[in-house]
Amino acid sequence: MFSLATASIIGFSCLTAVSAAPFTYNNNPLGNNFPNPSPSQTTQIELQAHAAAHGPSPTTITSLEWVAFNELSEVAFFTELIANITNNVPGYIFDTEIDTRNYILTALTAVQAQEELHALNANLAVKKNTGGVILPCEYNFPVNNIEEAIEFASLFTDVVLGTLQDVVTLFGEDGDAGLIRGVASVIGQEGEQNGFYRNLLNKIPSALPFLTASTRAYAFSAVNQLFVVPGTCPNVTTTGTVGPFDIDLPVFDTLTVVTQNIQPKSQTLSFTFDLPAGGAKPEWKSDYSGLELVLINQQNAPVIESLTNVQLSSNLKTITFDALFPFNGTTFGNGLTLAVITPAGETFTDIDSIANVTIFGPGLIEVN
């Protein structure tokens, strides 16, 4: 056995002590940027240490990237909305007294700044763990007046509130519970926002006792489908290969809810989707009975409906179909409903099991 006692015999006792310069931030003999090393330097430290540093899981990093991505789109939306109101763009001119206009502008200005801080907070965490940040895309928001803008703000806030449920659940599952408190505070803040939007729309401030669940993949898909200009996102892959600064989430093919102004009653709704480049898959069957519509509302078990009256467009690229929306006002239908298409015959245990097999979606349905 090699011991310190043996070492002293073979020569350690005759060494002369030499004083080294003190280890400070400006005098780092390690040859890296410790205590703030780059990702590549961190990897080298981990290799030398024979273990990885404890840090957020890859799933957590993806969640932080999604938060930054989403908040950047919200900053863009509210910046544009405030500019339209301030500049009296047609459709954004108030017929009411000046106090109402000023009140709404004051509230929206605060919301815009709050979304900026949400984005900055998420991106600081992303940069700390990846060395990069999530950058904004170009956006084209599908609104033409103040009422449409507030309705749209309420709709995507509903999706965000559902998706942050997913984020905090994943934080807990992956051992990153220390991040939950901050995100939970954002959930409350976004809820305050949505109560304001709903009040402006003459709705009761709170839609449901238990808000509809969503997932990061559904929210990521919805933003990319609804208002991102395709090909303009630096952190969204267009090749299918996820790069080091790409967000590792899927963008599903679009499912469009054709029926508008959906009323609170049981009814048949119309939907449409475009076939993928390779056309319909054999397992979907010629009558598309190999697919089913899954409706996610509140925290309840999903409702599964068949595709009926299926029609193929003359160019053989677009499918239109009908499906029942069995509104009952209690266990199904109020607030936000996510509509997605999955293979028929699947067994679902939770919303993640639905997202894992989703082909088209999410279509967004809002009923009050």
pLDDT one-digit tens code per residue, 147-176: 999 999 999 999 999 999 999 999 999 999
The reply to whether 262 and 197 lie within a common domain is no
By the 8 A CB rule, do 137 and 229 touch? yes
Can you give the residue range of the structural domain that contains 121?
58-226
| Domain-located, residue 68 | yes
- Domain match, 220 and 272 both: no
The 10s digit of each residue's pLDDT in 299-318 is 999 999 999 999 999 999 99
Q: Report the run of H or E that residue 360 belongs to, with start and end.
A: strand 360-367
Q: How far apart are CA 196 and CA 79, in angstroms?
A: 18
- pLDDT of 31 > 70? The answer is yes
User: Model-level pTM?
Assistant: 0.86
Q: What is the pLDDT of residues 96-109, one digit of tens each?
A: 778 889 999 999 99
Q: How far apart are the two ends of the chain, measured CA to CA in Å?
A: 78
**CATH code at 99?**
1.20.1260.10
Q: Which residues contact 72 (CB under 8 A, 6 or more apart)?
A: 119, 134, 135, 136, 137
Query: What does DSSP assign to residue 203?
Result: S
Task: For residue 199, give the 3-state DSSP assignment.
Answer: helix
Instruction: Give domain status of residue 42, yes or no.
Output: no
- Sheet containing 360-367: which strands, arranged edge to edge? 303-306, 291-297, 335-343, 360-367
Do the domain assignments include residue 274?
Answer: yes
**At which of 207, 226, 245 does a domain end?**
226
- Shared domain for 168 and 262, answered yes or no, is no
- Single out the residue in 226, 245, 267 at which a domain terminates: 226
SS3 content of the chain, % helix, strand, coil (to 5): 40, 15, 45
The mean pLDDT of 206-211, rounded to a whole number, is 96
